[in-house]
Chain A
Amino acid sequence: MLRTAAFRLVAPALRAPRPFSTTSPALIKIRHPSGPSTSPSSTPPASSSSDSAPSPSPSERPPPVPESIGTPPPPFEPEVSQPFTASRQTTSSGPVSSASTSTSTSASSQQPSDGSSVPTGSESQSSGAGAPLEPPSPASAGTSAEAASSAPFDRSKLPSLDIDPEAAIAEPEPIKEGESGEKDGAGAGAGAGAGAGRKGRTGAGRKEYVSSIERQRRMWARLGLGALAVGGLGAVWYVGQKDDGQAEGAPTSPWARFQHNMSEVFDYFNKPAFKVLLPDPLPPPHQRPYTLVVDLDGLLVHSSWDRQYGWRTAKRPGVDYFLAYLSQFYEIVLFTSQPLYTAAPVAEKLDPFGAYLPYKLFRESTRYHQGKVVKDLSYLNRDLSKVVMLDTNAEHSALQPENAIIIKPWEGQSGDKGLVDMIPFLESIGIYSPADIRPILKNYQGKDIPIEYAKAEAEMKRNVQEEWERQHPATSAGAGWLSGMFGSVAAPGSQRPNQPLTYLEQKRALAQRAYQEEQKYWRDNAEEFKKMIEEDKQRQIAEMKGSILGFVTGGAKKPEDEAEKK
Chain B
Amino acid sequence: MSHGDHSRDPCPYVILNDFGGAFAMGAIGGGIWHGIKGARNSPRGERFVGSLSAIKARAPVLGGNFGVWGGLFSSFDCAVKGYRQKEDPWNAIISGFLTGGSLALRAGPRSALGSAVGCGILLGVFEGVGVLMNRMFAQPIPPMQIPEQAAAPAPAVAH
Touching chains A and B, CB distance < 8 Å:
yes
Q: Which A residues have a C-beta under 8 Å from some C-beta of B?
A: 268-269, 273-274, 276-280, 282-283, 285-286, 288-290, 297-298, 303-305, 310-311, 313, 328-330, 337-340, 342-343, 355, 358-365, 373, 430-431, 433, 507, 510-511, 514-515, 517-518, 521-522, 553-554, 556-560, 562-566
Answer yes or no: B159 CB below 8 A from chain A CBs: yes
Least distance between B8 CB and chain A CB atoms (Å): 9
Least distance between B142 CB and chain A CB atoms (Å): 4
Residues of A within 8 A of B157 (CB): 328-329, 430-431, 507, 510-511, 514
- Determine if A285 and B144 form an interchain contact, defined as CB atoms under 8 angstroms apart: no
Answer yes or no: B107 CB below 8 A from chain A CBs: no
- Determine if A560 and B135 form an interchain contact, defined as CB atoms under 8 angstroms apart: no
Q: Give the docked Cα–Cα distance between A421 and B147 (Å).
A: 34
Other A-B pairs beyond A268-B135, A297-B4, A518-B153, 9, CB < 8 Å = A269-B135, A311-B3, A311-B9, A328-B155, A339-B134, A517-B153, A553-B139, A562-B145, A563-B144
- Determine if B135 and A273 form an interchain contact, defined as CB atoms under 8 angstroms apart: yes
- Determine if A521 and B152 form an interchain contact, defined as CB atoms under 8 angstroms apart: yes
Interface size range on B against A: 20 to 34
8 A-B pairs with C-beta separation under 8 A: A279-B144, A285-B156, A286-B146, A337-B2, A339-B134, A359-B141, A554-B137, A558-B142
Residues of B within 8 A of A563 (CB): 144-147
Answer yes or no: B108 CB below 8 A from chain A CBs: no
Q: Give the docked Cα–Cα distance between A384 and B137 (Å).
A: 28
- Determine if A338 and B145 form an interchain contact, defined as CB atoms under 8 angstroms apart: no
- Determine if B150 and A363 form an interchain contact, defined as CB atoms under 8 angstroms apart: no
Partner of B2, one of A280, A289, A297: A297
- Determine if A562 and B142 form an interchain contact, defined as CB atoms under 8 angstroms apart: yes
Residues of A within 8 A of B155 (CB): 328, 511, 514-515, 517-518
Q: Give the docked Cα–Cα distance between A566 and B146 (Å).
A: 9
Interface string of B116-145 (1 = CB under 8 A from A): 000000000000000100110111111111
Interface string of B53-97 (1 = CB under 8 A from A): 000000000000000000000000000000000001000000000
Least distance between A265 CB and chain B CB atoms (Å): 13
Residues of A within 8 A of B44 (CB): none
Residues of B within 8 A of A554 (CB): 137, 139
Counted as pairs of residues, one from A and one from B, with CB atoms less than 8 Å apart, the total is: 127
Chain A interface mostly = mixed
Partner of A269, one of B10, B131, B158: B131
Q: Give the docked Cα–Cα distance between A279 and B10 (Å).
A: 37
- Determine if A290 and B6 form an interchain contact, defined as CB atoms under 8 angstroms apart: no
Least distance between A272 CB and chain B CB atoms (Å): 9
A518-B153, A562-B145, A566-B147 given; A277·B158 CB < 8 A: no
Question: Of residues B2, B5, B131, B146, which shows the largest number of chain A Cβ atoms within 10 Å of its Cβ?
Answer: B2
Closest to B150 in A: A286
Least distance between B91 CB and chain A CB atoms (Å): 14
Q: List residues of B (1-48) whose CB comes within 8 Å of A's CBs.
A: 2-6, 9-10
Residues of A within 8 A of B2 (CB): 297-298, 303, 337-338
A343-B4, A566-B151 given; A364·B143 CB < 8 A: no
- Determine if A303 and B152 form an interchain contact, defined as CB atoms under 8 angstroms apart: no
- Determine if A305 and B142 form an interchain contact, defined as CB atoms under 8 angstroms apart: no
Question: Of residues B4, B6, B134, B145, which shows the largest number of chain A Cβ atoms within 10 Å of its Cβ?
Answer: B4
Least distance between A32 CB and chain B CB atoms (Å): 46
Partner of B138, one of A340, A559, A565: A340
Partner of B134, one of A330, A363, A557: A363
Closest to B135 in A: A273
Partner of B142, one of A269, A363, A430, A559: A559
Least distance between B128 CB and chain A CB atoms (Å): 8
Least distance between B114 CB and chain A CB atoms (Å): 15
Least distance between A164 CB and chain B CB atoms (Å): 24
Partner of A559, one of B5, B88, B143, B152: B143
Residues of B within 8 A of A521 (CB): 152-153
- Determine if A358 and B144 form an interchain contact, defined as CB atoms under 8 angstroms apart: yes
Residues of A within 8 A of B150 (CB): 286
Residues of A within 8 A of B141 (CB): 277-279, 359-361
Residues of B within 8 A of A297 (CB): 2-4
Q: Give the docked Cα–Cα distance between A510 and B156 (Å).
A: 10
- Determine if B158 and A290 form an interchain contact, defined as CB atoms under 8 angstroms apart: yes
Q: Give the docked Cα–Cα distance between A90 and B137 (Å).
A: 74
Residues of A within 8 A of B138 (CB): 273-274, 340, 362, 364-365
- Determine if A274 and B140 form an interchain contact, defined as CB atoms under 8 angstroms apart: yes
Closest to B155 in A: A514
Least distance between A284 CB and chain B CB atoms (Å): 9
Q: Give the docked Cα–Cα distance between A277 and B142 (Å).
A: 10
Residues of A within 8 A of B131 (CB): 269
- Determine if A433 and B159 form an interchain contact, defined as CB atoms under 8 angstroms apart: yes
Partner of B4, one of A283, A338, A360: A338
